[in-house]
């Protein structure tokens, strides 16, 4: 398939839909593997650290191991993107899911502190580091892979669908954790039932890797290989020398993407319980609805980005999200019965982040696209993904609307950054 066929405004084929489905499925399963750890942090803390350790320290160390997965993301992303730009997108895409599935399976089989002492938390940390490296390569790699497969005028739809897949991975983790805690008592979970979600995730991942065998190398990469137009030097060096503006725009938009998801989807259920005294079940049901709406919102934002440009979607969607979140946080205190519809609507509007990957893949030329996107996205996620909960918690000390103000702030950053995007359709360097 030649460049001319790809960039033409052709409709999506059966092959395109197959590629998108397999990529989104793999992304969902890989994100499930990455996120499931957090749902069982308490059980893991009890089993993998000395019993005489104080509870707070045990929890801190468990979350420290969870955070290690985020810290190592940029390194894993840079290494995998380097080879993705030089050896091919498909190889790295398959490797990233193997790198995620095996450690997840291993966590489910690891002996505990009672069996092997200090080696238990160290092995757990090693598995978590491998998971972080894998997810650092998977997300940018998947966006590049799908965007280079579809026609240039459907980049937004492809990236939005894939982002929806990642969201479904978070939802799957939440549903499995809820189901397991419903079927088993807390004692049974600690006794061994906590292992099931990890074993399931490992099997899921290996299955998704098998399915990815049917994917083909992207036509864009195949053509660059044919024309001997691959990066002549280390791709990241070229990115840092010639594409600093694109890196800055990509990092700022990733800040918006990570902050909106971390605050609205991951932190809000706990905040609803703590600040607004809404019971756990009600807040989790509302969160499930919001996460589902977010998946649809990502696809809608992607379709609109193809139609009107990602720049416009972000410029209009960001203020809408800011207003909706402010209304959400100011209303639920007095009218808790509006929690479900307001949270679902907020989740739908967080879908504006579905237009962000479209900007990221268009910001870099094909020779260094994987490296440029991966470096910007992972570095920004490691910084802001990690700092967002700290900022929000500090803001909560002075005002319970702190989470809303933080998201309103990053929406403003998103709007200002959108003004710097060169309005264009399709992919640069095709």
**pTM for this prediction:** 0.85
Q: Read off the pLDDT of each residue in 6-11 and give the average, rounded to a whole number.
A: 60
Compute the average pLDDT of residues 54-65: 78
Domain assignment present for 428? no
Confidence of residue 30 (pLDDT cuts 50, 70, 90): confident
For tokens 């420290």, the residue is 64
Residue 160 scores a pLDDT above 50: yes
Average pLDDT over residues 251-270: 90
Does pLDDT of 356 surpass 90?
yes
CATH assignment of the domain containing 277 = 1.20.1250.20
| Residue 429 belongs to a domain | no
Establish if 425 belongs to a structural domain.
no
Confidence of residue 426 (pLDDT cuts 50, 70, 90): very low
Range among 38-42, 197-201, 400-404 with highest mean pLDDT value: 197-201
- Paired tokens of 401: 């609307």
- Give the per-residue SS3 of 96-142: HHHHHHHHHHHHHHCCCHHHHCCHHHHHHHHHHHHHHHHHHHHHHHH
pLDDT score recorded for residue 193: 93
In a domain, 343, yes or no: yes
Local confidence band at 55 (pLDDT 50, 70, 90 cut-offs)? confident
Above 60 in pLDDT, residue 7?
Answer: no
In this predicted structure, the answer to whether residue 429 has a pLDDT above a threshold of 50 is: no
**Distance, C-alpha 73 to centroid of its chain:** 11
Instruction: Give residue 233's pLDDT.
Output: 61
Domain assignment of residue 245, given as a range: 3-419
- 3-class DSSP state for residue 54? coil
The answer to whether residue 427 sits within a structural domain is no
CB count, 10 Å around CB of 136?
30
- The tally of domains found in the chain comes to 1
In a domain, 424, yes or no: no
Say what the pLDDT of residue 216 is: 80
Q: Which two tokens stand for residue 220?
A: 């864009």
Per-residue pLDDT at 3? 46
The pLDDT value recorded for residue 110 is: 95
The answer to whether residue 426 is domain-embedded is no
Quick: pLDDT tens for 201-238.
999 888 888 887 777 877 877 777 776 656 556 777 88
Residue 361: the pLDDT is 93
pLDDT in tens, 67-114: 777 788 888 888 888 888 878 778 887 788 888 899 999 999 999 999
pLDDT at 423 over 70: no
């Amino acid at each position: 398939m030649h460049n001319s066929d790809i960039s033409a405004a052709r409709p999506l084929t059966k092959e395109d839909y197959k590629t998108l489905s397999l990529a989104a499925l793999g992304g969902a399963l890989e994100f499930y593997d990455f996120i499931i750890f957090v749902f069982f942090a308490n059980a893991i803390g009890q089993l993998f650290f000395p019993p005489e350790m104080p509870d707070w320290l045990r929890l801190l160390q468990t979350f420290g191991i969870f955070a290690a997965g985020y810290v190592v993301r940029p390194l894993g992303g840079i290494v995998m993107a380097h080879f993705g730009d030089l050896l091919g997108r498909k190889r790295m895409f398959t490797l990233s899911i193997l790198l995620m599935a095996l450690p997840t399976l291993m966590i489910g089989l690891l002996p505990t502190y009672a069996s092997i002492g200090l080696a238990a938390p160290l092995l757990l940390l090693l598995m978590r580091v491998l998971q972080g490296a894998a997810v650092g390569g998977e997300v940018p790699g998947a966006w590049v892979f799908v965007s280079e497969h579809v026609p240039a005028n459907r980049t937004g739809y492809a990236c939005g669908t894939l982002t929806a897949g990642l969201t479904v991975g978070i939802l799957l983790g939440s549903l499995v954790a809820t189901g397991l805690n419903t079927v088993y008592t807390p004692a049974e979970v600690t006794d061994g039932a906590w292992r099931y979600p990890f074993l399931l995730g490992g099997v899921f991942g290996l299955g998704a890797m098998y399915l990815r065998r049917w994917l083909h190398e992207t036509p864009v990469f195949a053509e660059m290989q044919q024309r001997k137009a691959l990066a002549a030097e280390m791709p990241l060096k070229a990115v840092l020398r010639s594409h600093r503006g694109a890196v800055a725009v990509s990092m700022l938009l990733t800040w918006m993407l990570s902050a909106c998801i971390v605050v609205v989807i991951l932190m809000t259920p706990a905040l609803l319980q703590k600040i607004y005294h809404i019971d756990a079940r009600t807040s989790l049901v509302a969160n499930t609805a919001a996460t589902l709406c977010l998946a649809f919102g990502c696809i809608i934002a992607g379709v609109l980005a193809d139609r009107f440009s990602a720049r416009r979607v972000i410029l209009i969607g960001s203020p809408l999200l800011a207003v909706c979140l402010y209304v959400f946080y100011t209303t639920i205190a007095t009218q808790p019965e509006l929690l479900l519809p307001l949270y679902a609507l907020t989740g739908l509007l967080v879908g504006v982040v579905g237009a962000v990957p479209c900007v990221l893949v268009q910001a870099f030329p094909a020779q260094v696209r994987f490296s440029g996107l991966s470096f910007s996205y992972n570095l920004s996620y490691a910084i802001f993904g990690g700092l967002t909960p700290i900022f929000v918690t500090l803001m909560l000390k002075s005002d319970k609307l702190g989470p809303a103000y933080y998201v309103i702030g990053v929406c403003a950053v998103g709007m200002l950054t959108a003004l710097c995007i060169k309005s264009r359709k399709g992919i640069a360097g095709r």
